[in-house]
Amino acid sequence: MNIPGYTYGSAAPSPVTLKEFEDLKKAVLFSAEDEKYLKMAGEVLKDQIDAVLDLWYGFVGSHPHLVYYFSGPDGKPDANYLAAVRKRFGQWILDTCNRPYDQTWLNYQHEIGLRHHRTKKNRTDNVKSVPHVPLRYLIAFIYPITATIKPFLAKKGHSADEVDKMYQAWFKSVTLQVALWSHPYAKDGDF
């Protein structure tokens, strides 16, 4: 797999300890059962990635205040930047479902947070864009990224109960990830 800027496995260590991470998983009620249902979701979603991304990109693109964070110095969306992020976003779906939630995963979650924060935004793709995505949008995106996934999870003939368990596992994971992505936004000692 060659996805420009995808550095899973080589991200710097997260400042969040494994103990803090385990406690955070408990706080969102994330369990081994959720891991099982995320793997199922990964199987369901793997051939629907482009359709999911089309929906999400359509949502972002239809809101000037959101697509703004992909704009160049001319104020217009940077198509190359959007395309590069899209490839990693597709891989993020698969990583959310299939990767073990271990130190390597934790490290990459911190990297994702840094790439939204002024610390590293634009560096991965070497673009000249808005220097920072406000934390409020990371938090707000929990809802659309979660609510829109359920119809995709229901497309492969699983029972309503299985679809709901996949959906709940996805919701917990997205909430967990956004909590981790918020670390660069917190003042020392506040996370």
Residue 190 exposure: Cα atoms within 13 Å on the Cβ side: 7
Question: Could you tell me the residue range of the domain that residue 85 belongs to?
Answer: 18-185
Asked if residue 181 belongs to a domain, the reply is yes
Query: Is 59 domain-assigned?
Result: yes
Q: Say how many CA atoms lie within 13 Å of 80 toward its Cβ.
A: 9
In-domain check, residue 128: yes
Residue 126 makes CB contacts below 8 A (sequence gap 6+) with none
Give the model confidence (pLDDT) of 31-81 as tens digits.
999 999 999 999 999 999 999 999 999 999 999 999 999 999 999 999 999
Residue 157: how many other CB atoms lie within 10 Å: 8
Give domain status of residue 1, yes or no: no
User: What domain count does the chain have?
Assistant: 1
| Global confidence as pTM | 0.96
Quick check: is 145 in a domain?
A: yes
For the segment 96-141, what is each residue's pLDDT rounded down to a tens digit? 999 999 999 999 999 999 999 999 999 999 999 999 999 999 999 9
At 47, which CATH number?
A: 1.10.490.10
